[in-house]
Structure 1
Amino acid sequence: MSDVFITHALRTPIGTAGKAFRDVAAADLGAAVLKQLVPAGQVEDVVLGNCMGPGGNVARVAALTAGIADHVPALTVDRQCASGLAAIQLAAAGFSQGTVLAGGVESASTAPWRFWPPVGDAGAVRYDRAPFAPVGRDPEMGAAADLLAELQGITRGRQDEYAARSHERAAAAQVAGAFEGEIVPVNGQTVDERIRRGLTVQRLAKLPAVFRADGTVTAGNSCGINDGAAVVALSKTGPGLGVLATASAGVDPTLPGLGIVPAVQKVLKATGLGIEQIDVWEFNEAFAGQVLACCDVLGLPDERVCTQGGALALGHPWGASGAVLAVRLFSQLVTQQSGRYGVAAIAAGGGQGTAILVEACR
């Protein structure tokens, strides 16, 4: 039996950077979802993940913008791409009374420029991201995914097949209305921007490798750069999704994509459940090769993962993506009644992973 339940779960559409939400700040994306969840109960706290915002406390800005009372505190969490799911993990672990709103926000479109300060006579140096690990153990994510695919024997063809399937599944789910109940419109945008209907393996096969000259990772079998927010309401009482276990884990930072594996192993061990007992699997699809490598190591058939499409098609708004996975679990297990147990997991730069295992309680 669970002590904490996800009773409501919503997200914005996922926008492509520079397009639908090009002028919408991360806090405003979060506020759009928080406003819709406030009636879910007496809010006691707000916990949001964020990677690339302006600093400070994005969660507090989002909460106040949403009209949440001044006396309700807010916390911003940064575990890079796992931030949104880590926020839910922290909220569930420290739960007391009332309702806690937890999730993640990200706006790649409005992320501020960052600079190292001048040294001597040299000018300030702009950088695209913060260090995830010490020098020498901090590869770019695409190059690390390419290396992981090579080490695990994941072929280019298999990656392209997986990517095409993600778009096919997402397009079918979108047409069937599978996302409608979970999406809060923002700026008139009501659907995810990135999904490509009719994307084929043949079209993907024409794209060149982008991270290594002899590599297998391309723009087509990688996620996009995206904007979005996702938040869940956590309560001591159901119905909804009972949170049975959450976990975070670390791996070799030069192979960060494997972070999903130990996190999933931890939540399965904590509950005594096996892979075959999980009805819905949601892994963040940062790279097709990375997801396939994790599935192979876990012994999980890859066709069971993201059956309504994943981040390759929907997009990967970094700090929000883990929370998007939780929203997707809620839609499938509660709204669509597609099974009993679900697992969501995401890897993060620096060699980390976070996972959650839930049970539908109707």
Structure 2
Amino acid sequence: MTGAAQDRVALLAARRTAVVPRGGAFRDLEPFALAAALIGPLLAEAGIAPEAVDEVILGNALSGGGNVARVAALAAGLPQHIPALTLDTQCCSGLDAIRMGAARIAAGEAHYVIAGGVESFSRAPLRAHRPRTKDEAPAFYRQPAFTPWPEREPDLAAAAAQLARAEGITRQAQEAFAMESHRRALAAAPPEGEIVPVNGMAMDPFARALSPALLARLPVIAVDADDAAFGVTAATTAVEADAAAIVLLGPGGAGRVRIVGALARGGDPLMPALAPVAAVEALCARLGLHARDMEHVELMEAYAAQALAGMGRLGLDPARVNAQGGALAPGPSHRGVRGGAGGARLPPAPGDGRPGAGGHRRGGRHRQRHGGITARRNPPAVAGLKDGIWTGYGRATGHHWARWATCPRFGRRAGAGVCAHRRARHPQGGHRGSGPGGDGP
């Protein structure tokens, strides 16, 4: 989306669930229920009637088919004539949904679009290839192939370890980054109204105080060339989780969160962690900016090594990246789970005093990455919920700020994200990592 489209589309409202590790409070909720719980509060915040919505577009990588967006729309009580689309671009799914919705509005095909994403690692179906003969058993698999040569596709934890060794990012540096991500997430409570309570969960439960001594005891889960000095551990890998996040897109205007630009770009499938760098550079070049112009950036933390490598190559100041914590915590950069639910937050008011005020939201994907820029703010609503499904509008007072960006030229910010893979057990609970498609984006 470029040029004339930039001022025609705005983010009017945003809502999300808590980010709950797999097997937690959302373990019995299907993905559509998580997304449906957000739609009513989202429309209430914006003051938009359900029948005014033109389309619902959700990203989802784990449900194994079907149309989660359509089921969520019906469960939320939207009129039956409103179409819905579910797309799967793995870790970019949620941001791609927002990008697609914005393109619909810019092209004059829609006026209001609900967009975002949802994932449930807890309810993800088992996958199997159908037997070729009556004597053959089903062949279960974790993830589909992402290239014509699947035997060459790297395990993403191993790819992160290879990247760490190539970039000189030691295990200690990765652990220090993870500790800081958790510290920032603990210090920055989400604004009132940002999270819609579902199954009693109104806060992200995973962030915790980590110590060097604790992290040093963790076993390495991936190394490159048997060099444990650059190894990846459970603590430096993002957690598997269940969540949803959505935004309402509509016509741009004064005082609204304009979408300034968005771009998707493929990368080397054998080195997926570096793909965001080219996407951010290309988008910034299109807009006449540099990543260093951004006062606040949100970059996906699939692995500490991946985030550190991206920050280094883009020349980003670590103090400006994921100021409220990132996916390793999981903090605000991880809202809505890596795969479907990226991108559904609005920015803090400039100078509101909270860490990261004015920061930006991320998106990313295995083998393909995004750059994106947006800005500003909006007020909240609270839902009436029953069994995790929204059942009525409820208003709350106060204001709801989220982290998009502000740069000197546009008053906005850019970001990109990457997602990755690996399952391990965190020392204080929770499953770590995921593989694209099969066990996660």
Q: Which has the larger radius of gyration?
A: 2
CA gap 1:179/1:128 in 2 versus in 1, 3 angstroms: farther
Higher helix share: 1
State the 1:299 CA deviation. Answer: 1.2
Partner of 1:126: 140
After TM superposition, the structure 1 stretch with the greater mean CA deviation from structure 2, 50-59 or 130-139, is: 130-139
2:196 to 172, 184, 189: 184
Conserved? CA contact 1:81–1:346, under 8 Å = yes
After TM superposition, the structure 1 stretch with the greater mean CA deviation from structure 2, 216-225 or 37-46, is: 37-46
Task: Kindly provide the amino acid, as one letter, of the partner of residue 232 in structure 2.
Answer: V
Partner of 1:288: 304
SS of 2:214 mapped into structure 1? helix
State the 1:7 CA deviation. Answer: 1.2
Conserved? CA contact 1:4–1:92, under 8 Å = yes
Partner of 1:219: 234
Conserved? CA contact 1:263–1:345, under 8 Å = no
Conserved? CA contact 1:240–1:334, under 8 Å = no
Partner of 1:19: 24
Alignment of 1:227-306 (within 5 A): 227-238=242-253, 239-306=255-322
**Unaligned ranges ≥5, structure 2:** 1-5, 379-441
2:76 to 42, 66, 69: 66
2:361 to 326, 339, 344: 344
TM-score scaled by structure 2? Answer: 0.75
**Structure-2 separation of matches of 1:57 and 1:21:** 20
Conserved? CA contact 2:119–2:242, under 8 Å = yes
Task: Kindly provide the amino acid, as one letter, of the partner of residue 23 in structure 2.
Answer: G
Conserved? CA contact 2:348–2:357, under 8 Å = no
SS of 2:18 mapped into structure 1? coil
CA gap 1:194/1:285 in 2 versus in 1, 3 angstroms: same
Conserved? CA contact 1:340–1:360, under 8 Å = no
Task: Kindly provide the amino acid, as one letter, of the partner of residue 51 in structure 1.
Answer: A
* Alignment of 1:159 onto 2:174: yes
Partner of 1:10: 15
After TM superposition, the structure 1 stretch with the greater mean CA deviation from structure 2, 2-11 or 332-341, is: 332-341
**Structure-2 separation of matches of 1:336 and 1:285:** 25
1:235-276 C-alpha deviation (Å, 9 max, x unpaired):
113433210000011111111111211221122112212223
Conserved? CA contact 1:258–1:290, under 8 Å = yes
Task: Kindly provide the amino acid, as one letter, of the partner of residue 126 in structure 2.
Answer: W
Conserved? CA contact 1:280–1:343, under 8 Å = yes
Task: Kindly provide the amino acid, as one letter, of the partner of residue 194 in structure 1.
Answer: F
State the 1:298 CA deviation. Answer: 1.0
State the 1:359 CA deviation. Answer: 3.2
Task: Kindly provide the amino acid, as one letter, of the partner of residue 318 in structure 1.
Answer: R
SS of 1:182 mapped into structure 2? coil
Superposition RMSD on alpha carbons, in Å? 2.2
After TM superposition, the structure 1 stretch with the greater mean CA deviation from structure 2, 136-145 or 253-262, is: 136-145
2:61 to 51, 68, 73: 51
CA gap 1:360/1:318 in 2 versus in 1, 3 angstroms: closer
Task: Kindly provide the amino acid, as one letter, of the partner of residue 106 in structure 1.
Answer: E
2:126 to 67, 91, 113: 113
State the 1:170 CA deviation. Answer: 0.2
TM-score scaled by structure 1? Answer: 0.91
Count of aligned residue pairs for this structure pair: 353
After TM superposition, the structure 1 stretch with the greater mean CA deviation from structure 2, 63-72 or 30-39, is: 30-39
After TM superposition, the structure 1 stretch with the greater mean CA deviation from structure 2, 109-118 or 212-221, is: 212-221
1:16-68 C-alpha deviation (Å, 9 max, x unpaired):
10011000111110111112113332211111000001411111111111111
**Structure-2 separation of matches of 1:18 and 1:292:** 29
State the 1:69 CA deviation. Answer: 1.0
**Unaligned ranges ≥5, structure 1:** none
Partner of 1:193: 205
Conserved? CA contact 1:342–1:358, under 8 Å = no
Conserved? CA contact 1:243–1:357, under 8 Å = yes
SS of 2:136 mapped into structure 1? coil
**Structure-1 separation of matches of 2:88 and 2:285:** 26
Conserved? CA contact 1:260–1:346, under 8 Å = no
CA gap 1:74/1:333 in 2 versus in 1, 3 angstroms: farther
State the 1:70 CA deviation. Answer: 0.8
Task: Kindly provide the amino acid, as one letter, of the partner of residue 100 in structure 1.
Answer: V
After TM superposition, the structure 1 stretch with the greater mean CA deviation from structure 2, 160-169 or 258-267, is: 258-267
Partner of 1:307: 323
1:210 to 210, 213, 221: 221
**Structure-1 separation of matches of 2:40 and 2:120:** 18
